[in-house]
Structure 1
Amino acid sequence: MLEAILGIFTESGFSEITYKNIIVIGIACIFLYLAIKKGYEPYLLIPIAFGMLLVNLPLGGLMASPGNGTNGGLLYYLYQGTNLGIYPPLIFLCLGATTDFAPLIANPKTLLLGGAAQIGIFIAFFGAIALGMTGPESASIGIIGGADGPTAIFTTSRLAPHLLSAIALAAYSYMALVPIIQPPIMKLLTTENQRKIKMEQLRNVSHTEKIVFPIVVTIFTILILPSSAPLIGMLMLGNLIKESGQVPKITETLQNSFMYIITILLGITVGAKAEADILLSMQTGKIIILGLIAFSAGTAGGLLMGQVMYRLSKGKINPLIGAAGVSAVPMAARVVQKEGAKANPSNFLLMHAMGPNVAGVIGSAVAAGVLLQYFG
């Protein structure tokens, strides 16, 4: 009987589990708690955390590659959509179908806020160079500053695939923690009186403008930066499908079921790359720190540009909206709304913040295109 029990134990995962596996399983459980109990990006964090959990339970073989008479694990094959850069453009297609570019079209000056927020990408890039990383590795780490998980995955899969798991986890973790990271920076770089400022209602944007915008952006952006075609092209196609009004069933599918399908596939396969030896390495620690610097600097860059626009407009622009220049749509805009309402309960900044927020999506894709064109 004792031998039978010992046999079962030696063939189970308990005999192979290490302290590193236990640490990562603990981290995965914390992420699940934040997603389920606190509501931090549950659509992303639940599949990512569960993927981390699955891959760190020994002998499951879900990420095993084919060979030696085995077919390979389920998540190994699903991961190819992440590894080959297929899922991120499809996420952008869905994102375009859910995004309203009207606030940006109505107030094109907010494009500057989205551009300024990309400074975090280049600060982290040079920080990574200073730490001895290669150009492609530094570019992949820097893109975390755009607060855009699909862009980070797409760029890294092209430039530094060996860093994909660490960078994807850092990017999505910081996206999920936007409501925690941004408010202290917003309070530091704005005054209470500035946060109270109510902005004028945006003008109405015509249907023609909404149709022309994605077409023009696609043509000019891809002509200038061909490497941005997969992300910009899919983003603008999704938006054109939505704004055309001719294919409501496709629009509904992109906004709902297809978006959720791709999100869970992307999330669980990103999490499944978080093997304990990779996640707990010194290099991953550097990436996480640099990613936090990049994201914080991006938020600060948008706020500082907001301060410039506040002064140029003689106090008509609330500098808080600059924080939405990072690409975390629409969470960053919601945080701006929340902080503005705290200072002035009658303040409604959400639509004003959506301008720089969608500009940040375009800006991060353009920044990725620049890095890909130079290093790829």
Structure 2
Amino acid sequence: MEILQGFVDAVVGIFNSSGLTTLNWQNYVMIGISIVLLYLAIKKQYEPLLLLPIAFGMLLVNLYPSIMSAPSTEMIPLADYVKDHTGAIQYPITELNGAEYVNYPTNGGLLWYLYQGVKLGIYPPLIFLGIGCMTDFGPLISNPKSLILGAAAQIGIFLTFTGAIFLGFTAAEAGAIGIIGGADGPTAIFVTTKLAPHLLGSIAIAAYSYMALVPIIQPPIMKFLTTKKERSVVMEQLRPVSKLEKIMFPVIVVIIIAIFLPDAAPLVGMLMLGNLFKESGVVERINKTAQNELMNIITIFLGTTVGATASGQTFLTFATIKIIVLGLIAFCLGTAFGVLFGKIMYVATGGKVNPLIGSAGVSAVPMAARVSQKVGQQENPGNFLLMHAMGPNVAGVIGSAVAAGVLLNVVG
């Protein structure tokens, strides 16, 4: 009978500690959303390198919330502590009701520890290091006017920042929301951890979702704002860029940015360091490690822990809906202003610039540039805009980091 009672107690204990009693409806909704995101990452291959770990982190935290729990302390009887530990007592002793207790720290959840790299602003700059190793700034150096298009695409960030304040968000929260318009996930995460860490889950998922949906969101805007004649423009071949120019570029950029906008130095500095690894040609081992092994490890940690911030209780709010809508507006405005400034350059150059390359001013590299190429070829099969679009595209990476520095300086 005692054995039976023990078995029943064990079953009841397992049931009471299971998700069937500890999870609520918000958790189940988020589990459903995470499965949809996994489908988009695996089946549709929408930005899978980040969307997949983000979705799985979201799934984990809503199945097992304690995986993101922070360490705490609990008071255990001194006698029990001594029984389980050897050596000197390292923790404060408290007397309670005539007995002595030790304030003993408990372990936090696995993802909480990995999340400290996000919280402390370590992972995003390291991602930029890897991006720098994989980026060719040659098209931007060859055509410096591309900087204008990269800068124009950041206008959506500041317009959305203003709109978010109007809708009741604080200036810090509005800055974190506006940066979604840059279509740069690491930058969005970096800014959000500094300005509004409580919104990290919503903003990160919105940023990476819109990055993944670039081929769907951008073409209608591009076609609406341009004529068939403008989309058919064939641009002249870019001039060759020397090795010296490519080596000098990251050094000059980091000096200028660090002096005039130091808040952007962590992102821009690591981006340019990675690019210098690539272009110098003397640290091939470091270059390969930064763009492969290091980049892959940080991507796993970053994606999984960011997804784990999207628990049902914090994510399913009206504020989240507003953030997702504002993020979409920011991204659309960034695309639109890039194209509009492209039209200005089209007129100023007598029809030598295809306005479509302005849409690549958002920093979704190289997807936005590929979209410019695809839309251009739909009008003129002999049109090759990819290298021309890469100029505004990599300018957008720098531009979004600069915009982040401006927001951190103004509202941080």
TM-score bracket, shorter-length normalisation = over 0.9
SS in 1 for 2:67: coil
From 13, 23, 32, the counterpart of 1:26: 32
Quote the residue 1:63 is aligned against: 68
Task: Count residues with an aligned counterpart.
Answer: 375
Shift of 1:153: 1.0
Counterparts in 2 of 1:2-17, with a 5 A limit? 3=8, 5-17=11-23
1:41 aligns with 2:52: no
Quote the residue 2:201 is aligned against: 165
AA at the equivalent of 1:280? L
Shift of 1:282: 1.0
Counterparts in 2 of 1:147-226, with a 5 A limit? 147-226=183-262
Shift of 1:15: 1.9
Task: State whether residues 31 and 49 of structure 1, in contact with CA within 8 Å, keep that contact through their aligned partners in structure 2.
Answer: yes
Please list the CA deviations of residues 23-56 of structure 1 after superposition, one character each: whole Å capped at 9, or x if unmatched: 1111111111111111110001000000000000
Shift of 1:7: 4.4
For 1:14 and 1:191, the matched residues in 2 are separated by 57
AA at the equivalent of 1:57? L
CA RMSD in angstroms, aligned pairs only: 1.3
Counterparts in 2 of 1:1-376, with a 5 A limit? 3=8, 5-58=11-64, 61-67=66-72, 68=74, 69-376=105-412
Shift of 1:271: 0.1
For 1:178 and 1:7, the matched residues in 2 are separated by 48
SS in 1 for 2:63: coil
For 2:225 and 2:244, the matched residues in 1 are separated by 38
Please list the CA deviations of residues 268-319 of structure 1 after superposition, one character each: whole Å capped at 9, or x if unmatched: 0100000101111111111111111101000001000011011111111111
Which has the greater radius of gyration? 2
SS in 2 for 1:62: helix
SS in 1 for 2:268: helix
Please list the CA deviations of residues 249-278 of structure 1 after superposition, one character each: whole Å capped at 9, or x if unmatched: 111111212111111111001000001011
AA at the equivalent of 1:37? K
Shift of 1:9: 2.6
Shift of 1:70: 2.4
AA at the equivalent of 1:336? S
Please list the CA deviations of residues 116-143 of structure 1 after superposition, one character each: whole Å capped at 9, or x if unmatched: 0001101110011101211111111111
Shift of 1:6: 4.7
Please list the CA deviations of residues 91-132 of structure 1 after superposition, one character each: whole Å capped at 9, or x if unmatched: 111111100000000000010000000011011100111012
What TM-score results when the alignment is normalised by the length of structure 2? 0.89
Deviating 4+ runs (over 3 angstroms): 1-8
For 2:300 and 2:227, the matched residues in 1 are separated by 40
For 1:192 and 1:90, the matched residues in 2 are separated by 42
For 2:145 and 2:18, the matched residues in 1 are separated by 60
For 1:58 and 1:242, the matched residues in 2 are separated by 42
AA at the equivalent of 2:377? A
AA at the equivalent of 2:309? K
For 1:197 and 1:176, the matched residues in 2 are separated by 27
Gap regions ≥5 residues in structure 2: 75-104
AA at the equivalent of 1:51? G
For 2:221 and 2:241, the matched residues in 1 are separated by 32
Task: State whether residues 175 and 328 of structure 1, in contact with CA within 8 Å, keep that contact through their aligned partners in structure 2.
Answer: yes
Gap regions ≥5 residues in structure 1: none
SS in 2 for 1:56: helix
SS in 2 for 1:108: coil
Q: Which has the higher contact order (CA 8 A, sep 6+)?
A: 1
Task: State whether residues 16 and 58 of structure 1, in contact with CA within 8 Å, keep that contact through their aligned partners in structure 2.
Answer: no
Shift of 1:332: 0.7
What TM-score results when the alignment is normalised by the length of structure 1? 0.97
